[in-house]
């Protein structure tokens, strides 16, 4: 790190603008600033924390303001990570300040509060207005309160239900100003993400304010306990409402149970021949201290984890560090336990379900070098390890590596870029590699390593397709289960073996409709039908969380001929109970699992044999190794196929192959029954044959013909507004600048998005395919600049590079 004394530094701030801001440095900071450290600076009337990009003596042309305070004496972002952040901002067309903020999970250290006080003109106004207007006007109330003393924004929001709006109008008039202040953390007042809120059964009635009423109504419709933070989107000011209702005895607030325990200790296996060969290739590359990317394609149950462990060991022997990324749902105590038992307290875990404080602790341990093996989900790719030797991305095809908010990066691809810059190796592992990654083998970017067989030569499960159209013709019944499926489940129950039943859709019925007028009950915020959840007797929107009671008559024509259509996992569970009254059945989906703990508990109890049957959505398909599972049943393989998305076939293939891979991992061979009405579809056929190569070839041909990735660089542009005309106008304005004939680009749109309205916003879409990254990136920068120049709201434009969802 260059020592020295500087007059200025360029700071990146978490604002939607790209350029860094130059600040002058006071005498006391000139010797201490370093790139990668956080600096508190004035920004407009506020104080903000930004990251120092550069320290220098180049006098800027315009006058600068002075930096206020240096937060870190040692940089929190190394030069390596700063460079990675810049790459992400460029590639994903995202504001650098927001990217960098997301890379440093230390928000808990600088908890800031806003304090409002009156300006001189505000003081005058208060005096004049107080004579005239209504005393319960929120604007007046706030002026009156602030006349006595400055107050925190949090306090105002708590005491004044309409504070938000009143404050905005007062600020606009120049009557009040805010100041950011540092506040100490009060351990008794845990942050929302650490709290669960639940309605108390004997809750008293009373007069509540709007957020309190909304929270109460929400809890009545959504029984059980909820993470407070997760309710923020659904209910305004929910945190305050929950705390005040807790004081009044209406709800209970309890600490979120967290912390990963060590989990079961697993034995260490001697590598078999295939594992050894893969290990040797990778370890040789690691020892060369050069970048090398491997795609480890190993069928389900081939023992990929053991290869990861032995490669990580080789990295540690060299005195370097390793990162292992796993999909969101896969980071269970079982997974973490394997790492603890092999590497002890050198392991740090970074999980998005951790609280700020927990994450900060882990982050500090990594930064200090105390932890040299990091297991983490997506954002773990930014772990500040020193001397990186290896990054492993397990289940590299998994969609949870893609962040679905700005910056919309893919952790797997960022891992490759980071490894490359650090002269480290990277292993992408999967039984069903993404087309993009597999194609990179052909382009000689990645080296393919294969584990074609299961451990101890266990057979792959035998998959049979059941044509449900034929079943219907033969039985004249539209049953959930075929006769063959019921028979097989019954047999396994007899034998004391376990069964997994997959239906990749939550709820009981996917929608309800009226026979008289054809109306389908839709969400009030989204152009989507509501799903019927029987246990809670409510209709629920799976996208925005809106819930309502089940109507007894049609909301449109009052007819009582309402009927329920489509099948969900809840109904599958119920019908299994009816068919097998003595079977012990557990269900795993987003409705039975509200906390991370529950997910692990259900899985653990199933593993221990407390249940015979496990029913669930795609959650049950991922990575679990439960030896006593000998039957996997798929109720409907067709659910994902109809999606308006060019990856529909790939996702279906991956899901079916992965869930089939849960069967027969012990001594008894596994069988898989797949019910479908598309038995001739190639994704279903090839998943049944568990023939990845055939699927890859076929799908690649389709992608090539259609110029879809990996044969083009793709981006999805969304234009959103709560007002339909506004969204339409903005998208057609944007369309104007995109029509000029541009070589090597294909632009589809503007068109209504497949879900035209979501979370109360109207959405228009452009899908862009480009022959080269450079062409695409230039166009995207133009689009972004257009939005900035035309002062579009912060959320109006979404640029999604390499999109995984096109809805
Ligand atoms: P994958 O992730 O490839 O589906 P896992 O890594 O879960 O497979 O391994 C499958 C099972 O095989 C695990 O129970 C693991 O402990 C076991 N296993 C892995 N390697 C060996 C080996 N060399 N000898 C015996 N058992 C092994
Ligand atoms: Zn009707
Ligand atoms: Zn909705």
Q: pLDDT higher for 794 or 390?
A: 390
Q: Read off the pLDDT of each residue in 632-657 and give the average, rounded to a whole number.
A: 94
Residues in the chain: 807
**Distance of CA 551 from the midpoint of ligand 2 (Å):** 11
Measured in whole angstroms, how far is the alpha carbon of residue 201 from the centre of its chain?
Answer: 33
Mean pLDDT of 406-423: 97
Q: Of ligand 1's atoms, which has the minimum distance to the CA of residue 302?
A: 3
DSSP conformation letters of 741-807: --TTEEEEEEEEEEEEEETTEEEEEEEEEESSHHHHHHHHHHHHHHHHHTT--TTTEEEEES-S---
- Residue identified by tokens 């679990």 is 624
Kind plus residue range of the DSSP H or E element containing 199: strand 195-199
Instruction: Decide: 272 in ligand 1 pocket, CB within 6 A.
Output: yes
Nearest to 459 by CA among 269, 197, 669, 317: 669
Ligand 3 centroid vs 631 CA: distance in angstroms? 36
**pLDDT of res. 326:** 93
* pLDDT > 60? residue 72: yes
Closest CA to ligand 1's atom 13: 303
Place of tokens 């507004």: 721
Assess whether pLDDT exceeds 90 at residue 104: no
Instruction: Please work out whether the CB of residue 306 comes within 6 Å of at least one atom of ligand 1.
Output: yes
Assigned token pair, 62: 């315009």
- Higher-confidence residue: 244 or 384? 384
Q: Cβ-count burial of 184 within 10 angstroms (0-12 exposed, 13-18 middle, 19+ buried)? A: exposed
pLDDT of 183 reads: 45
CA angle 147, 152, 155 (to 5 degrees): 95
| C-alpha–C-alpha distance, residues 801 and 569, integer Å | 33
Amino acid 262: pLDDT: 47
Listed residues: CB within 5 A of ion ligand 2: 514, 516-517, 519, 554, 556-557, 559
Beta carbons of 34 and 52 less than 8 angstroms apart: yes
SS3 content of the chain, % helix, strand, coil (to 5): 35, 25, 40
Report how far ligand 1's centroid is from the alpha carbon of 380 (Å): 24
Residue 46 has pLDDT above 90, yes or no: no
Q: What is the pLDDT of residue 186?
A: 38
Measured from the alpha carbon of residue 663, the closest ligand is 1
Residues 6+ apart with CB under 8 A from 178: 45, 46, 114, 115, 116, 117, 153, 171
303 lines ligand 1 (CB under 6 A): yes
In whole angstroms, what is the distance from residue 71 CA to residue 441 CA?
45
Confidence band of 187 (pLDDT split at 50, 70, 90): very low
What is the model's pLDDT at position 34? 93
Pairwise pLDDT comparison (328 vs 366), residue with the higher score: 366
The pLDDT of residue 235: 87
Contact present, 126 and 118 (Cβ < 8 Å) = yes
Cα of 279 vs centre of ligand 1, distance in Å, is 14
Minimum mean pLDDT among 42-51, 351-360, 673-682: which range? Answer: 351-360
The tens digit of pLDDT for each residue in 278-321 reads 999 999 999 999 999 999 999 999 999 999 999 999 999 999 99
Bridge partners (DSSP) of residue 254 are 196
Contacts by residues 135-144 (CB-CB < 8 Å, ≥ 24 positions apart): 138/162, 138/163, 138/165, 138/166, 139/166, 139/169, 139/170, 141/166, 142/116, 142/166, 142/167, 142/170, 142/176, 143/118, 143/170, 143/175
Alpha carbon nearest to ligand 1 atom 20, residue: 303
**Closest listed ligand to the CA of 523:** 3
Query: What is residue 706's predicted lDDT score, i.e. its pLDDT?
Result: 93
| Mean pLDDT to the nearest integer, 422-435 | 98
Q: Is the pLDDT of residue 120 over 70?
A: yes
Say which residue, 266 or 104, is predicted with more confidence. 104
Mean pLDDT across 230-252: 86
pLDDT tens-place string over residues 434-486:
999 999 999 999 999 999 999 999 999 999 999 999 999 999 988 999 999 99
Does the CB atom of residue 192 touch ligand 1 within 6 A?
no
CA dihedral over 533, 535, 538, 543, signed as positive or negative: negative
30 pLDDT more than 70? yes
% of the chain at pLDDT higher than 90:
60
| Ligand nearest to the backbone CA of 540 | 3
- What the block records as the tokens of 465 is 């397709």
pLDDT score recorded for residue 751: 93
The pLDDT, as a whole number, for residue 329 is 75
Block residue for tokens 């209702």: 245
Q: How many A from CA of 804 to the centre of ligand 3?
A: 20
Question: What does the pLDDT read at residue 744?
Answer: 80
Is it the case that residue 230 has pLDDT exceeding 90?
A: no
- Determine if ligand 1 sits within 6 Å of the CB of residue 395: no
- DSSP assignments along 640-661, one per residue: TTTSSSTTHHHHHHHHHHHHHT
Q: Which residues contact 470 (CB under 8 A, 6 or more apart)?
A: none
Q: Which residues 6+ apart lie within 8 Å of 605 measured at CB? A: 586, 611
Q: Work out the pLDDT band at 133, boundaries 50, 70, 90.
A: low
Measuring from atom 9 of ligand 1, which residue has the nearest CA?
Answer: 303
Atom 25 of ligand 1: nearest residue by CA position: 269
Average pLDDT over residues 336-342: 86
Kindly state the percentage of the chain with pLDDT values over 70: 93
Closest CA to 93 of 798, 805, 804, 692: 798
Cβ of 271 closer than 6 Å to ligand 1, yes or no, is yes
Count of Cβ atoms closer than 10 Å to residue 291 Cβ: 15
224 confidence band (pLDDT: 50, 70, 90): confident
Question: Tens digits of per-residue pLDDT, 730-785?
Answer: 999 999 888 655 678 899 989 999 999 999 999 999 999 999 999 999 999 999 99
| CA 780 – ligand 1 centroid, Å | 44
pLDDT value at residue 134: 64
Ligand 1 atom closest to Cα of residue 305: 6
pTM of the model: 0.83
Q: What is the mean pLDDT of residues 348-369?
A: 82
* pLDDT tier, 66 (very low <50, low <70, confident <90, very high otherwise): very high
Q: Is the pLDDT of residue 135 over 50?
A: yes
């Amino acid at each position: 790190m260059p020592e020295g004394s500087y007059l200025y530094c360029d700071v990146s701030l978490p604002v939607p603008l790209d350029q860094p801001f130059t600040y002058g440095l006071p005498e006391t900071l000139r010797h201490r600033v370093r790139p990668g450290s956080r600096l508190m600076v004035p920004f407009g009337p506020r104080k903000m924390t930004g990251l120092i990009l550069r320290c220098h003596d180049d006098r800027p042309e315009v006058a600068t303001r002075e930096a206020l305070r240096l937060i870190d004496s040692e940089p929190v972002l190394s030069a390596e990570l700063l460079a990675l952040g810049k790459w992400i901002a460029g590639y994903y067309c995202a504001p650098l300040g927001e990217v960098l903020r997301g890379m440093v999970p230390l928000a808990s250290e600088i908890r800031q509060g806003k304090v409002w006080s009156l300006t001189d003109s505000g003081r005058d106004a208060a005096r004049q207005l107080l004579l005239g207007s209504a005393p319960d006007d929120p604007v007046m109330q706030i002026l009156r309160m602030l006349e006595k003393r400055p107050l925190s924004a949090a306090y105002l929001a708590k005491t004044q239900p309409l504070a938000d709006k009143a404050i905005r109008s007062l600020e606009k008039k120049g009557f009040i100003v805010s100041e950011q202040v540092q506040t100490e953390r009060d351990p008794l007042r845990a942050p929302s993400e650490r709290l669960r809120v639940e309605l108390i059964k004997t809750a008293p009635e009373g007069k509540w304010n709007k957020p309190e009423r909304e929270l109460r109504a929400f809890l009545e419709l959504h029984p059980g306990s909820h993470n407070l933070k997760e309710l923020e989107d659904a209910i305004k000011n929910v945190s305050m409402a929950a705390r005040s209702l807790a004081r009044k005895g209406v709800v209970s607030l309890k600490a979120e149970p967290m912390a990963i325990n060590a989990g079961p200790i697993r034995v260490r296996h001697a590598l078999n021949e295939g594992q050894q060969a893969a290990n040797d290739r990778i370890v040789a590359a690691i020892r060369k201290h050069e970048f090398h990317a491997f795609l480890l394609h190993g069928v389900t149950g081939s023992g990929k984890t053991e290869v990861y462990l032995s490669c990580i060991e080789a990295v540690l022997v060299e005195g370097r560090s390793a990162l292992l990324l796993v999909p969101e749902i896969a980071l269970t105590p079982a997974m973490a336990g394997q790492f603890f038992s092999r590497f002890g307290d050198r392991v740090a875990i970074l999980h998005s379900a951790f609280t700020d404080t927990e994450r900060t602790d882990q982050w500090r341990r990594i930064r200090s070098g105390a932890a040299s093996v990091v297991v983490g989900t997506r954002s773990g790719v930014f772990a500040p390890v020193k001397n990186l030797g290896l990054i492993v991305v397990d289940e590299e095809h998994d969609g949870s590596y893609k962040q679905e908010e700005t910056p919309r990066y893919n952790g797997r691809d960022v891992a490759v870029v980071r490894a490359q810059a650090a002269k480290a190796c990277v292993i992408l592992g999967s039984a069903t590699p993404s087309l993009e990654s597999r194609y990179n083998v052909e382009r000689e970017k990645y080296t393919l390593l294969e584990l074609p067989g299961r451990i101890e030569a266990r057979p792959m499960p035998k998959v049979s397709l059941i044509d449900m159209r034929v079943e219907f013709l033969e039985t004249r019944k539209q049953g959930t289960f075929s006769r063959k499926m019921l028979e097989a489940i019954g047999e396994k129950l007899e034998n004391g073996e376990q069964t997994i039943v997959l239906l990749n859709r939550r709820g009981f019925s996917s929608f309800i409709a009226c026979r008289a007028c054809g109306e389908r009950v839709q969400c009030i915020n989204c152009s989507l039908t509501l799903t019927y959840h029987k246990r809670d007797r409510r209709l629920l929107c799976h996208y925005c969380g809106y819930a309502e009671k089940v109507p007894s008559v049609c909301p449109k024509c009052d007819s009582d001929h309402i009927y329920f259509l489509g099948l969900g996992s809840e109904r599958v569970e119920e019908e299994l109970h009816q068919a097998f009254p003595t079977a012990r059945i557990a269900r795993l989906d987003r409705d039975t699992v509200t906390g991370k703990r529950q997910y692990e508990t259900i899985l653990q109890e199933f593993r221990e044999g407390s249940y015979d049957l496990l029913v669930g959505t795609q959650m049950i398909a991922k990575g679990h190794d439960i030896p006593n599972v000998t039957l996997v049943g798929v109720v409907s393989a067709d659910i994902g196929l109809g999606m308006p998305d060019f990856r529909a076939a790939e996702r279906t293939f991956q899901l079916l192959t992965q869930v089939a891979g849960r069967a027969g991992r012990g001594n008894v061979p596994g069988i898989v029954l797949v019910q479908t009405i598309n038995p001739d579809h190639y994704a279903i056929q090839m998943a049944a044959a568990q023939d990845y190569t055939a699927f890859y070839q076929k799908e690649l041909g389709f992608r090539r013909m259609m110029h879809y990735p990996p044969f083009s660089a793709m981006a999805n542009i969304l234009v959103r507004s709560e007002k339909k005309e506004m969204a339409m106008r903005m998208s057609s304005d944007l369309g104007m600048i995109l029509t000029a004939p541009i070589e090597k680009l294909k632009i589809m749109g503007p068109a209504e998005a497949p879900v035209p309205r979501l979370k109360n916003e109207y959405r228009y879409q452009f899908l862009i395919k480009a022959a080269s990254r450079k062409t695409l990136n230039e166009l995207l920068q133009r689009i972004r600049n257009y939005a900035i120049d035309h002062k579009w709201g912060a959320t109006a434009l979404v640029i999604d590079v390499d999109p995984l969802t096109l809805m």
